Amino acid sequence: MAADAPHPAFEGYATETVPQASVGAPGKDGRLELTFAADEAGRTQLVRDFAQAPFHVGRALDHDLHPDVATVYIQSSTGGVAQGDRHSVEISASEGAIAHVSTASRTRVLSMEHNYAAASVSLDIDRGSYLEYLPEPTVFNTDARYHQDVTLRVAPGSCAVFGDVVVPGRLACDEHFEFERYVSQLRVQDGAGLLFADTTDLHPAQDDPTAPGVLDEFAVYGSLYVVVPAASSSDESSVTDERPKPASLSDALHKRVADCEARAGATALPNDAGVLVRALGHSADSVTDALDNAWNRARTDLLGVSAPDPRKY
Amino acid sequence: MSDAAALAELRLADSFLPIGTDSLSYGVEQFLATDRVTDADDLRALLESYLRNQFGPGDLVALRAAHARASENNLVAVMETDYRLAAVTLTAEFRESSTLAGERLLALQSDLRGDGLVEEYAELVDIGDAPGNHAVILGIVTEHEGISARDACLLACHGFVTGLLGAAQRLLRLGHTDVQRVLDDLHPAMIVAVEDSADRAPEEMTPFAPLVETLSSEHERADRRLFRS
């Protein structure tokens, strides 16, 4: 495999040089590192942030309905993800932190003629911590090639909510599935190993994404993963896991999405890891509405407060 | 192939095999209930998609890995394959269906000739140390019966498709000749699925059928249903 190809499908692209700023040049290797921790009063603080262009973060916001939550919106100084970009996002929540992270606007993956773009996301959620990572949808322009690698490491009794929405083109311009390749590999692990994995592999020119059972007549595809690994049995006996069990949480989330405009449903994830909500729709808004409904319900069950109005605009 | 292996292959491919697959539809019931499948053509297209996007990149990869690892008598590696398949099977009903059929096949095979890896694996599944997914158990059993990995994959495709066709036939007005025609039409898709699975490492189990998953999650809560999945 070529040195930095993240997937066999990207080996050919990796050999192509980029005519403008090359792979690894300033502005191409975006890095973002955020660490949240609870202070003595139990309020979550952004205790460390490092952002290398095109990433930018302001201060943590505290508009959440839950008094201890810290909110960070990731901003970008560029118009989109270009060929040769390699982005890395590392977020950790420790010592009982409760944090919400999102992006300020949609991520646009621009058209490409050479090489590819890739993003690696790593979330570490410590025992007793709660992290939401719900970026705005990713939009794919014509001929885009994009690889996304997402790893969640969850400790027993922690909670992670991760959302991902794929918009396969500028739908208003009647552009559907004209990108070249999109591979997204999600792995969720606890200390003992893999809890579940989910791979999206779209190669529209070769495999028809509108095949029955795949996306069919729908264009936009979104997933919400509510990961609630059980508190381990080796915990102190006084600690009981009072959070809803995955099967009942799955029923509750399903109820919230069943009548949405998008076609959506919830199911319990493997290894009692939590709940998956899938949503398929004709527009990005219909899919995000369904996933937001599920997120709102999950938050009410797990944190005791509903989702706040975003402060992005 | 020996005569014994050929006969074992026919026995394992027969819908007569009592492993409960006649109670499973893997979401097909919901496609029919919501009028997404109304005739033989719709059914053919849907099953082709199942083979290409769901069964091929998931179950067949697991079957091949289990077959190879069983031939090396590597119980731990077979278990890893089993856990891996469980970890990428994201809908609850698919996992339940897969382990139900797997456990029944394992129990049946142990009764017939319980020795070696089959017996050892049956004990692991029994005490809950291995999930017992059908594709993995079929890999162990076919290897034990002297059936090649490729033939085992073709057998698995045939069993999967006939199971789903049987389910559809009970829900849809579909003649026996129509069903045979769909089965025959799907042979090229089965061969492609089997060939595609050969190039994949066990870590590359990547089923991808979001609408199947969404309808399966609807099926979990359906008021009226004939099938367990």
Minimum Cα–Cα distance from A262: chain B residue: B214
pLDDT of residue B95: 98
A263 and chain B: CB distance < 8 Å anywhere? yes
Confidence tier at A234 by pLDDT (50, 70, 90): low
A269 and chain B: CB distance < 8 Å anywhere? yes
Q: With CB atoms and an 8 Å threshold, state whether A265 touches B31.
A: no
Q: Which residues of chain B are within 8 Å of residue A200 when distances are taken between CB atoms? A: 208
**Degrees, nearest 5: CA angle A5-A8-A13:** 55
Q: Is the pLDDT of residue B66 over 90?
A: yes
Task: Determine which of B53, B192, B217 to mutate to test the interface with A (most A C-beta atoms within 10 Å).
Answer: B217
When divided into structural domains, chain A yields a total of 1
Q: Is the pLDDT of residue A78 over 70?
A: yes
Task: Determine which of A185, A216, A223, A277 to mutate to test the interface with B (most B C-beta atoms within 10 Å).
Answer: A216
Minimum Cα–Cα distance from B89: chain A residue: A270
Bridge partners of A159, per DSSP, are: A130
Percent of chain B with pLDDT over 70: 100
Question: Per the domain annotation, does A235 fall within a domain?
Answer: yes
Tokens of A52: 């290398």
Task: Annotate chain A with three-state secondary structure.
Answer: CCCCCCCHHHHHHHCCCCCCCCCCCCCCCCEEEEEEEECCCCCEEEEEEEEECCEEECCCECCCCCCCCEEEEEEECCCCECCCCEEEEEEEEECCCEEEEEECCCEEECCCCCCCEEEEEEEEECCCCEEEECCCCEEECCCCEEEEEEEEEECCCCEEEEEEEEECCCHHHCCCCCCCEEEEEEEEEECCEEEEEEEEEECCCCCCCCCCCCCCCCCEEEEEEEECCCCCCCCCCCCCCCCCCHHHHHHHHHHHHCCCCCEEEEEECHHHCEEEEEEEECCHHHHHHHHHHHHHHHHHHHCCCCCCCCCCC
DSSP H or E run through B117: helix B116-126
pLDDT of residue B199: 86
Minimum Cα–Cα distance from B43: chain A residue: A212
pLDDT of residue A1: 53
B91 and chain A: CB distance < 8 Å anywhere? yes
pLDDT of residue A237: 46
Question: Peptide bond before A54: cis, by omega within 30 degrees of 0?
Answer: yes
**Degrees, nearest 5: CA angle A283-A151-B88:** 75
Provide the chain A residues 133-162 that lie in CB contact (below 8 A) with chain B: none
Confidence tier at A80 by pLDDT (50, 70, 90): very high
Q: With CB atoms and an 8 Å threshold, state whether B212 touches A213.
A: yes
Q: Which residues of chain A are within 8 Å of residue B84 when distances are taken between CB atoms? A: 194
Confidence tier at A249 by pLDDT (50, 70, 90): very high
B40 and chain A: CB distance < 8 Å anywhere? no
Determine the average pLDDT of the residues in A288-306: 97
pLDDT of residue A230: 86
Minimum Cα–Cα distance from B87: chain A residue: A196
The partner residue sitting opposite B90, judged by closest CB among A198, A214, A216, is A198
Question: Per the domain annotation, does A294 fall within a domain?
Answer: yes
Q: What is the mean pLDDT of chain B?
A: 96
Question: Per the domain annotation, does A309 fall within a domain?
Answer: no
Residues 6+ apart with CB under 8 A from B229: B24, B25, B26, B27, B29, B93, B94, B96, B97, B216, B219
Assessment of whether the complete model's pTM goes beyond 0.90: yes
Q: How many whole angstroms separate alpha carbon A87 and alpha carbon A121?
A: 8
B39 and chain A: CB distance < 8 Å anywhere? no
The CATH H-level superfamily of B3-220 is Urease accessory protein UreF (1.10.4190.10)
Minimum Cα–Cα distance from A184: chain B residue: B206
Q: How many whole angstroms separate alpha carbon B24 and alpha carbon B29?
A: 9
Determine the average pLDDT of the residues in A152-164: 97
* Whether A240 contacts A303, CB under 8 Å: no
pLDDT: which is higher, A239 or A182: A182
User: What DSSP designation does B22 have?
Assistant: G
A258 and chain B: CB distance < 8 Å anywhere? yes
Q: Find the distance separating the first CA and the last CA of chain B, reported in whole Å.
A: 35
A216 and chain B: CB distance < 8 Å anywhere? yes
* Whether A243 contacts A211, CB under 8 Å: no
B121-147 pLDDT, tens digit each:
999 999 999 999 999 999 999 999 999
Q: Is the pLDDT of residue A239 over 60?
A: no
Question: Per the domain annotation, does A121 fall within a domain?
Answer: yes
Measure in Å the smallest separation between the Cα of B213 and chain A Cα atoms. Answer: 8
Tokens of B149: 């990995």
Q: Find the distance separating the first CA and the last CA of chain A, reported in whole Å.
A: 43
A268 and chain B: CB distance < 8 Å anywhere? yes
* Whether B227 contacts B167, CB under 8 Å: yes
Closest residue by Cα to residue A294 from A223, A243, A245: A223
User: What DSSP designation does B228 have?
Assistant: -
Q: With CB atoms and an 8 Å threshold, state whether A269 touches B90.
A: yes
| Residue numbers of the domain that contains A44 | 29-302
pLDDT of residue A193: 94
Confidence tier at A238 by pLDDT (50, 70, 90): very low
The partner residue sitting opposite A265, judged by closest CB among B83, B84, B218, is B218
Question: Per the domain annotation, does A9 fall within a domain?
Answer: no
Confidence tier at A313 by pLDDT (50, 70, 90): low
pLDDT of residue B115: 78
Determine the average pLDDT of the residues in B150-155: 98
A7-57 pLDDT, tens digit each:
999 999 999 999 888 888 888 899 999 999 999 999 999 999 999 999 999
pLDDT of residue A312: 82
B25-48 pLDDT, tens digit each:
999 999 999 999 999 999 999 999
Q: What is the mean pLDDT of chain A?
A: 94
User: What DSSP designation does B57 have?
Assistant: I
ipTM: 0.96
B49 and chain A: CB distance < 8 Å anywhere? yes
Tokens of B82: 């089993």
Around Cβ B207, how many Cβ atoms within 10 Å? 22
Question: Per the domain annotation, does A103 fall within a domain?
Answer: yes
* Whether A144 contacts A111, CB under 8 Å: yes
Let me know if A111 is exposed, middle or buried by CB neighbors in 10 A (0-12, 13-18, 19+): middle
pLDDT of residue B112: 92
Q: With CB atoms and an 8 Å threshold, state whether A271 touches B87.
A: yes
B182-229 pLDDT, tens digit each:
999 999 999 999 999 998 999 999 999 999 999 999 999 999 899 999
